[in-house]
Structure 1
Amino acid sequence: MDQFPILKTKRLILDQIKPSDIPNIVAYAGNIKIVENTRSMPYPYHEEDAISWMHVANSGFKAKDNYMFAIRFSDTLSFIGGIGLTIDQENNRAELGYWLAEDFWNMGLTTEAVKAIIKFGFEELKLNKIFAVYLTSNEASGKVMIKNRMVKEAEFKDHDVKRGHTIEDNIYVSLTQYRMTRSEYESL
């Protein structure tokens, strides 16, 4: 795969993150509600964070170990979030991650984007397993996984630390993990 893939759904296009997306990435990812619901999004979120994310996406595609897509409306092509697969080539599996701007929550868009990424992972990348974790406080993310027929696999108590401004501000968060294997995908 030499060209960055473009995935299309009924309402969305998932494609390469572009420099012109940076203002929207900063505006949307800078929302504290996004940060509270993701594992590693920095806060405050600056332009250099968006540039770094775009560079990681581009180098990951070149190395074939990270496929990060912009989520866009298919009619306007406006950036509204990000989704991707981080590949573990040795074990032929990937971790799925995603975020969507708050203005577009509760519209089924993340569910639609996840469905497209799962299909891409199994049909194009020939993965054996895709898994995703969410903060247990973010039940909406778990619902996205359930709607995509992923299977609950594990719970991790106080598993990650969310960094605060000082060490006293750090908090430990619990995670829930869902999965889909190739055989589960093929049986849908």
Structure 2
Amino acid sequence: MELHTERLCLRPYTNDLAERVAELAGDEAVAATTFVPHPYTLEVAEDWIALHKDWIEKGAAYPLAMILKESNELVGTMTLRVDEKHHKGELAYWVGKPYWNLGYATEAAIRVVDFGFEELELNRIWSAAITSNPGSTKVMQKAGLSYEGTLKQDIYHWGEYKDIDVYGRIKNVG
């Protein structure tokens, strides 16, 4: 399974990407603004990648490597977690700090949202971001998700309770 955008190939992870995952996801700046665990070691990356084949085969989740077509570099992850019973999916992602503010997450999110609605026939796709991460909020908005609310002090992250902004979209509704 591969999805393509103008600049990206979105494809399942392979073991050879584990070191780069640990490097990018292990950056404290990435962990500070996302739900990515910290520290993020090579072992954590390998264990995570080992789960993907089963998830994809079962249709439970589609964790896709965001690979630059031009250079074959891993820039981040775009995942769609599927709740089959309720016909909905959760969009989750992170981008390595060297690739921030270049539009890769938006490009990938738009493609994966389309995949969720068109190919998986989901009824709803939602996503959440720590309120202090406006970059992530912009990605969700550009992918067609609308603000639905803020969950006050919803997570305990790095020693403090943080608010989460939730965005969503219903199939065939803007």
TM-score in terms of structure 2 length: 0.96
Residue deviations 1:9-48, cap 9 Å, x none? 0000000101110111011111001001112x22111111
Q: CA deviation at 1:94?
A: 0.6
Q: Match for 1:50 among 12, 25, 45?
A: 45
Write out the 4+ residue segments of structure 1 that deviate beyond 6 Å after TM superposition.
none
**Aligned residue for 1:19?**
15
Which of 88, 97, 101 lines up with 2:83 in the alignment?
88
Q: What is the identity, as a one-letter code, of the residue corresponding to 1:22? A: A
Residues 82, 88 of structure 2: 8 Å contact kept: yes
CA distance in 2, matches of 1:36, 1:59: 29
Residue pair 2:79, 2:93 contacting (<8 A) in 1 also: yes
2:144 and 2:75 mapped to 1: Cα distance? 24
Q: Which residue of 2 aligns with 1:114?
A: 109
1:37 aligns with 2:37: no
Deviations 1:71-94 (A, max 9, x none): 010122221111111111110001
Give the Cα–Cα distance (whole angstroms) in 2 for the partners of residues 149 and 126 of structure 1: 16
Structure 2 stretches lacking a partner, 5+ long: none
Shift of 1:55: 1.9
Is 1:175 the counterpart of 2:164? The answer is yes
Instruction: Tell me the percent identity.
Output: 29
- Work out the CA distance in 1 between the residues paired with 2:126 and 2:21: 25
Query: How many residues are treated as equivalent by the alignment?
Result: 174
- Report the AA paired with residue 119 of structure 2: E
Residues in 1 aligned to 2:49 and 2:29: alpha-carbon distance in whole angstroms: 21
Report the Cα distance in structure 1 between the residues aligned to 2:39 and 2:99, rounded to whole angstroms: 21
**CA–CA distance in 2 between the matches of 1:104 and 1:78?**
10
Q: Is the 8 A contact 2:149 2:167 kept in 1?
A: yes
Q: Which of the numbers 124, 129, 139 marks the counterpart of 1:129?
A: 124
Give 5+ residue unaligned stretches, structure 1: 165-169
Q: Which has the larger radius of gyration?
A: 1
Letter in structure 2 aligned against 1:183: N
Equivalent AA in structure 1 for residue 162 of structure 2: V
Do structure 1's residue 142 and structure 2's residue 137 form an aligned pair?
yes
